[in-house]
Structure 1
Amino acid sequence: MKKISTKITAFILIAIFICACNAVKRVPEGKLLLTKNEIKVNDKTTKEEIVFNQLYQKPNSTFLGYRLRLNLYNLANLNPDSTYQAKFTNNPGKYERKSKWLSAKQVDRLGQSFWYHGIHDFLKKTGEPPVIIEKTKIDKSIVRLRYYYFNTGYFNVKANYTIDTLSIKKAKTKYTIITGAPYSLDTIKTTILTPVLDSLYESIKSNSLIKSGNQYKTLDFENEKNRITTHFRNNGVYFFQPNYVTFDIDTIKKVNKANVNLIINNYSYQEQDSSRTEPFKMYKISDVNIYTDYSPTKKLNITDSTTYNNFNLYSQDKLKYKPRAITNAIFITKGSLFADNKTVLTTRYLNNLKIFNYPSIQYEVDARDTTAHSLIAKIYLSPRKKYSFGTNLDLTHSNIQDVGIGLSVSETIRNVFNGAETLEIGARGNIGSSKDLANPKNNFFNVSEYGLDLKLNIPRIFMPFSTEKIIPKSMIPSTLANAGFAKQQNIGLDKENFTGALSYNWTPKKNNTARFDLFNVQFVRNLNPQNYFNVYGSSYKALNEIGKTYSNNTSYFDTDGNLIIEDGTSGFTNDVLTGTGSFLTPIAQTDFQSVKSIEERRVRLTENDFILATSFTFSKTTKKDLLDNDFYLFRTKIESAGTLLSLVAKGASMPKNVNGNHEIFNLEYSEYIKTEFDYIKHWDLTKEKVFAVRTFFGIAIPFGNSDNVPFSRSYFSGGSNDNRAWQPYALGPGSSGATDDFNEANMKIAISGEFRFKLLGSLKGALFADAGNIWNVLDNVVDEKSTFTGFGDLKDIALGSGFGLRYDFSFFVIRFDLGFKTYNPANESGQKWFKEYNFGHSVLNFGINYPF
């Protein structure tokens, strides 16, 4: 085996060496392959990414120092068509022979097959052609380097280059830059010809980006120009544009200093064949006209109109909307100054209604105003179809379901109550496969579910009193009411799940979101609780071993000597806990506690749950768009369940059941408080390298009517979006070693780090480390290994590490991660670190999109 490994290693090294020696295969005679760029600034080598980005030529990319993409390109045949034809040109009889048993057309098409043509196209597309040193591009790079340093204040910069030949057909380019001393800003003055603009500028002058003593930077001048323009256009100066702001930079008789004169000229416009200038004016809105059913392909023909709160609404047919529903989304008001930010906010709100296509907002000077200081705002709304039908077929993967096929259909009704509301009625079905469930018949599809959903979105806070002072309409508030029913039918417990919620959503600031669930109700009904021990095999195995050791009741056992499900398991458990049974030997205290724990878990996981919760969720992000790789996301949530029901029960002096708890609909309701904190941070390391970190803490504390948290509200660890070295539900609690089938608890800590980098084209790689665990705290679990009693239990935080591959399809990412158990808190002392760091104990995860 050792000899075979040595041969394979030697073969790989030889192959790499051959490819490396062939790096100049496509480099023409007399030309040089660029292997490196070196930049020295003031006799010091620089590694600044922004400086290297000025160069027109960069060496071929490398992976771990190896030019993989260049060598893949070199393996390609650049003219596969000519090569294929040459086979027959040099041997005419060969074409005739092939044509006899294929046909001439098939022989010709064979040349376009993958092995003759496609593989070379793939190698060319995946690979990179050699970067040949070109003097013209170097000259352009020199110009760009001079501009870059000039724009940062070095007005006397000098730049040059040399080409150093390293070996046959290989060379590096060395750039030498002497910047000289930078220029700083000296006196700053302004020349603003329009008095009203002068006053507006004075109000923001203190925040100017152009300050005396600062080093000259062209970017500061551009940003100041945009800052001034934004302020003016948000305060009525409709015709103002950035090009009206200019700067006169004076360096005459100055030593490395520059005087700056900020100049804002008057408004210039064309009148017939001559240009005219006049002072800028501040414009007010004289009318706001809203065209509710505009079509760009039809001539406007108004047949219905109304005026509401100084807004004019027009329609070509009968007006279909309650005026307030539309005007609530309009921030441009009669009598106010023109403002760009109000235009943007109006566009966002109207688009958020989801009953119109993207709106068009235009302004025109009001000819009725003889002073020409008024604008008419015209808002054109193109309605979407009132009814739309959607269908979706999904291939899914989750922490429980290894593979699933889901079909969902929905009908959307817009403006359902003439108040811009949107009603969505949906139905869904899913069949899937899960190796985590008992499957005696070995069926591939052993999970099924179907459900119905009803969602009503109201574009305002739906309450019997006004909330404008607390949540103004500029925060784009909305109300979401939903109800749903789902039924699982499988070889497990089978469940019916009824849900309902009333939620309020708004955006307090840009990139901030808030959500308040006034109520979120869930009723979970187990249809097949007697099947518990078929599903939770580890619990049955533990109970069965104890039963065979102690019970002498033969009716509890089958012919193989195992406890019968359900009669044997329930009978033996009752005998132990009540002490009424007949046993072969007295039951040890540890075995008694094990039976008690097994029964408590069985009762908790098979009992029906009723949850009435209120929650508040807040999130903040600095992410600008999908391509932003330098941002953070913070999310926190607090949830309270059962408190309102307990207040009602105590106020009404409702009786308690035998367990000392209150009931509703003959069912003990859950009572707990839960809070979560989630923080994600991404750092863009340039060259398509990203480092990402996620931290999570969550805890749910039962009290009052409950001594545990419902399964649906508890935490688990492991899986493709968690600690990837463990399967879902296979880690924890604490150092218990995941003795149950679905291990969950009411407290969780998770920390993950991932370094992402580009491999080939759309293929990306990642190195990751995941740490965390779950624990029971302040509930009815007494197992010391599973509970968190103090900071000393943080030693039970598990660590997994590994690597992964991602393929980016632009609209989604397919992900494979291989995780290795690096530190396993469940192992004995001295066996926790790296004892399972091998492929035999590794976990392969499949996921859609990035884990965080």
Structure 2
Amino acid sequence: MKIDINKIALNITIALLLASCNSIKRVADDEHLLTNNTIYVNDKVNKTETINNLLYQKDNRKFLGFPFRLHIYNLARPNIDSIVNSNIDKKPKKRERLEKFLSKKQLDKYVESRIGFNNWLKKTGEAPVILDDSKVERSIRRLEAYYFHNGWFNAKATSKITRNDNQRATVDYQVATGEPYIVDSLSTKIDSRVVDSLYLVSKGKSYIKLNKQYKTATFEKEKDRLTNYFRNNGVYHFSEDYVYFEMDTIDTNKKVKVDLQIQNRLIKIDDSSRREPFNIYKIKEVNIFTDYSYLDRNKTQKDSTSYEGYNLYSNDELRFKPKALTDAIFITPGSVFKDRDRTMSYRHISELRTFKYPNIEYIENQDTTLTANVYLTPLKKFSLSFGAEVSQSNIQQIGLSFNPSILMRNVFGGAETLELTAFGSIGASKDAANDEDRFFDIQEWGADLKLTIPRLFFPFNTESIIPKSMSPSTRISISSSNQTNIGLDKRTFTGAINYKWRPNDKVTNRFDLLSSQYVRNLNPDNYFNVYSTSFTTLNDIAQDIGYIGPDDELGIPGQANEFIDEVLSNNPPPGLTDDDIQTVNYIDERQTRLTENNLIISSSFNYVRDNRSSLFDESFSIFRVKLESAGNVLSLASSVFNLEKNNDGNYEIFNVAYSQYVKPELDYIKHWDLGNKRVLAMRSFFGIAIPYGNSNSIPFSKSFFAGGTNDNRAWTAYSLGPGSSDSNDEFNEANLKIALNLEYRFNIFESLHGALFADAGNIWNVLDNVEDESATFTDFSSLEDIALGTGFGLRYDFGFVVFRFDIGFKTYDPSYQNSNRWFNDYNFKSAVYNIGINYPF
């Protein structure tokens, strides 16, 4: 019997609607269900989120115009516990018989399950919104207050409630704003001469602008600005309570005269108080307690030293180099008090990863100076951690990985951290070239050593270029890994030294002075077992021309490579067409490229500008740019020392032709907050890697790929492109990439969100040794090969992580080279199902 899933789903939906179609099922006879609010501002409907959020009572939320959650709630039965127990007890001895048959514990579990499901319906659903006249009145007052605080001082709001005979009601709000008031003048009355002088210097940055509409928020922003400005210019005792604005609108023809008033400092002693002018405070001294403990707070410090005006104390022998600590503290002896210095010190000390969260206190002296006490509590010298993970992928049935690590703090006395991480994994798969089906035949192990220095480790003084306020740091790392799997097997050595600093809160810079990578393939003879599509194509050509029998296969690797050599020789086997020779040439080029060893020594610069104000900001942009250059140092050395070239005309180091290329990347992300938990997100990416000098292609590890969970979701990773080529290779890559993504995110209910998306992009070969026209970018006409995938998805927000499920459909497929490319595989059978963690961008 054939089961129609669509009909079953439809029947379930209809049953749900019929069971709960009565919207007023849970509405009492003397109550009315609120079904709609309409706000008219000056006789025009206003549907903006800002205005509608002012209402104290809103109608039940709708999904596609249907109050879905209300009907889920209506499925729940009130007093379900009483109902279930009553049904059991309505017949004599029924409970006793059930307890004998199920046991008392199982019967209790049954009752609990009925109650639990009922509670789930209530929690998932939404109770009917009952019209409340008092909330309507409060909404009127809030509407008037909103417009008042935005300059419409004479705004009036009214309401009209319509109660229908079917126990449903609507509310219409009418707001008449009148003419707005304009800020006409700004005068000041500042008692303290010090504060008045500072104000005159900064008044050009005031948020209060003349001839602009009055807004209360503007004056709040100005109050915050003045408070921060004064406290960061020495006025230690200042607070926002001292800033007061007096407004005059009497007989001003809708003009507002503003008077800014700042009184002297208020000093309270017992029951008396007095006012004194504010003073500028300076930092007299800074005391750093390097190993503070509350239990030892009264002990005499055994060790102390002074460094550039700072006093450092320790209960035991001082273990830190003074400069390492003073570089992280921005409160400077002899400087004017600045409130932000304490905030910056907190942040920089925490970044050292050497101390618990610090405590900084100011003590006021008699001579308008301050003493700053910095209390640091060191973390333990060593810390151990261990991580483990179980995974599954398209090449392994199951994988187990682990990564123990040890962290050593204050390695050289300068708050440096040294972290040694070991990693290892084993996995189960089947090697097509191995008759012994070993269960754990995937293995990877290695170690990573990282030294982090909380300053720029450089021969020259860089303080004038990159001051300590930019949080400079240096990381030196080396790592090695050995991989044995069903692939080519690899042994990798890497090393790097990079610098990182932040010019401001939005921008992060990273400069990789030196990054080296050596990759050696340990099992290149296994190539055709891994890239089975290339082998199948090669084998079909050999069968077609009679090189082998129709049921035979080329031997791997010997016979397959011999066949390639013969085809590309001056005397190829008979029966080959030009297309066959070209195809074999492509296979040979790809095999050579993917089995060659790589030596990459490069430098790069990364610039990131992130405008997010917080983790919850949904209206922001992120711009990333990266420029990487490889092989230039080795090229210069090869020329200077007149090294010999190999048969391909390339210089070699350690018998490996080093890579030489330049690789710029641009990445831009933009989010627009549309309100009501709706977000429009956009991403654009462009990257190109251009080989030159000692290289005519880009190493596989540095090339681009398309498709996947965070890219074009209508194609699996590595399956899209290059260009319009109909490639079935397992790993398609190229050296030029364009990607454009657009996603509309919306809330369904509670923590469940939905998304509609469109992903466009592709990869191409350009300026390298690939000659396939369908895979290369020749001119702007190649842009017609940009693939388009569209789809939808669900996201569930767990708070600490977002689980994501997306379905991508191939909307425009450039691999259909000579036919219509639109909607050829636009169906669920050909769709790609993606599971991911967090949002793709």
TM-score range, shorter chain: over 0.9
Q: Point out the more displaced range, 423-432 or 562-571.
A: 423-432
| CA apart distance, 1:161 | 1.0
Matches within 5 A, 1:520-669: 520-550=515-545, 552=547, 560-579=551-570, 583=573, 585-669=574-658
Quickly say closer, same or farther: Cα 1:431–1:121, change in 2 above 3 A.
Answer: farther
2:829 matches 1:840: yes
| CA apart distance, 1:713 | 0.3
| CA apart distance, 1:475 | 0.3
Matches within 5 A, 1:200-239: 200-239=198-237
1:709 partner amino acid: I
Q: What is the TM-score with the length of structure 2 in the denominator?
A: 0.96
Q: Which runs of 5+ in 2 are unaligned?
A: none
Q: C-alpha distance in 1, partners of 2:414/2:225?
A: 38
Match of 1:81 in 2: 81
Per the alignment, in what secondary structure is the counterpart of residue 111 of structure 1?
helix
Match of 1:33 in 2: 33
CA deviation profile, 1:603-658 (whole Å, cap 9, x unmatched): 11011111101000000011122111111101010000111100111111111111
Matches within 5 A, 1:702-713: 702-713=691-702
Q: C-alpha distance in 2, partners of 1:101/1:13?
A: 36
Per the alignment, in what secondary structure is the counterpart of residue 754 of structure 2?
strand
Q: Work out which of the residue numbers 358, 383, 388 in structure 1 matches 2:383.
A: 388
Match of 1:269 in 2: 267
Percent of aligned positions that are identical = 51
Task: Work out whether residues 438 and 536 of structure 1, in 8 Å CA contact, stay in contact via their aligned partners in 2.
Answer: no
CA deviation profile, 1:392-413 (whole Å, cap 9, x unmatched): 2335578987975432211111
Q: C-alpha distance in 2, partners of 1:79/1:312?
A: 70
1:192 partner amino acid: I
Quickly say closer, same or farther: Cα 1:805–1:825, change in 2 above 3 A.
Answer: same
Q: Work out which of the residue numbers 366, 373, 380 in structure 2 matches 1:378.
A: 373
Q: C-alpha distance in 1, partners of 2:175/2:754?
A: 36
Quickly say closer, same or farther: Cα 1:735–1:215, change in 2 above 3 A.
Answer: same
| CA apart distance, 1:82 | 1.7
| CA apart distance, 1:469 | 1.2
Q: C-alpha distance in 1, partners of 2:210/2:509?
A: 42
CA deviation profile, 1:253-290 (whole Å, cap 9, x unmatched): 22211211100000001123201110001000000111
Task: Work out whether residues 439 and 446 of structure 1, in 8 Å CA contact, stay in contact via their aligned partners in 2.
Answer: no
Q: C-alpha distance in 2, partners of 1:323/1:7?
A: 75
1:208 partner amino acid: S
Quickly say closer, same or farther: Cα 1:269–1:211, change in 2 above 3 A.
Answer: same
| CA apart distance, 1:739 | 3.3
Q: C-alpha distance in 1, partners of 2:489/2:223?
A: 65
Matches within 5 A, 1:1-400: 11=11, 14-15=14-15, 17-18=17-18, 21-113=21-113, 116-166=114-164, 168-301=166-299, 302-367=301-366, 372-395=367-390
| CA apart distance, 1:5 | 8.7
CA deviation profile, 1:202-237 (whole Å, cap 9, x unmatched): 011122112221111100110001111111011000
1:411 partner amino acid: I
Per the alignment, in what secondary structure is the counterpart of residue 675 of structure 2?
coil
Match of 2:498 in 1: 503
Per the alignment, in what secondary structure is the counterpart of residue 841 of structure 1?
coil
CA deviation profile, 1:734-785 (whole Å, cap 9, x unmatched): 0002232211000000001111111232111111110000000000000000
| CA apart distance, 1:169 | 1.8
Q: C-alpha distance in 1, partners of 2:222/2:259?
A: 13
Match of 2:420 in 1: 425
Task: Work out whether residues 305 and 315 of structure 1, in 8 Å CA contact, stay in contact via their aligned partners in 2.
Answer: yes
Q: Point out the more displaced range, 438-447 or 806-815.
A: 438-447
| CA apart distance, 1:171 | 1.1
Q: Work out which of the residue numbers 450, 470, 478 in structure 1 matches 2:445.
A: 450
Match of 2:674 in 1: 685
Quickly say closer, same or farther: Cα 1:348–1:436, change in 2 above 3 A.
Answer: farther
Quickly say closer, same or farther: Cα 1:146–1:247, change in 2 above 3 A.
Answer: same
Q: C-alpha distance in 2, partners of 1:212/1:29?
A: 57
1:334 partner amino acid: P
Q: What is the TM-score with the length of structure 1 in the denominator?
A: 0.95
CA deviation profile, 1:558-613 (whole Å, cap 9, x unmatched): x94110101111121222223467x3x25332222222221111111011111101
Q: Work out which of the residue numbers 457, 465, 470 in structure 2 matches 1:475.
A: 470
Q: C-alpha distance in 2, partners of 1:405/1:682?
A: 37
1:653 partner amino acid: N
Quickly say closer, same or farther: Cα 1:10–1:723, change in 2 above 3 A.
Answer: closer
Q: C-alpha distance in 1, partners of 2:76/2:382?
A: 53
| CA apart distance, 1:248 | 0.9
Quickly say closer, same or farther: Cα 1:788–1:442, change in 2 above 3 A.
Answer: farther
Task: Work out whether residues 724 and 817 of structure 2, in 8 Å CA contact, stay in contact via their aligned partners in 1.
Answer: no
Q: Work out which of the residue numbers 676, 687, 693 in structure 1 matches 2:665.
A: 676
Quickly say closer, same or farther: Cα 1:481–1:247, change in 2 above 3 A.
Answer: same
| CA apart distance, 1:89 | 2.3
| CA apart distance, 1:148 | 0.7
Q: Which runs of 5+ in 1 are unaligned?
A: none
1:227 partner amino acid: R
2:99 partner amino acid: S
Task: Work out whether residues 233 and 338 of structure 1, in 8 Å CA contact, stay in contact via their aligned partners in 2.
Answer: yes
1:781 partner amino acid: V
Q: C-alpha distance in 2, partners of 1:102/1:703?
A: 79
Per the alignment, in what secondary structure is the counterpart of residue 25 of structure 1?
coil
Quickly say closer, same or farther: Cα 1:263–1:149, change in 2 above 3 A.
Answer: same
Quickly say closer, same or farther: Cα 1:649–1:111, change in 2 above 3 A.
Answer: same
2:768 matches 1:773: no
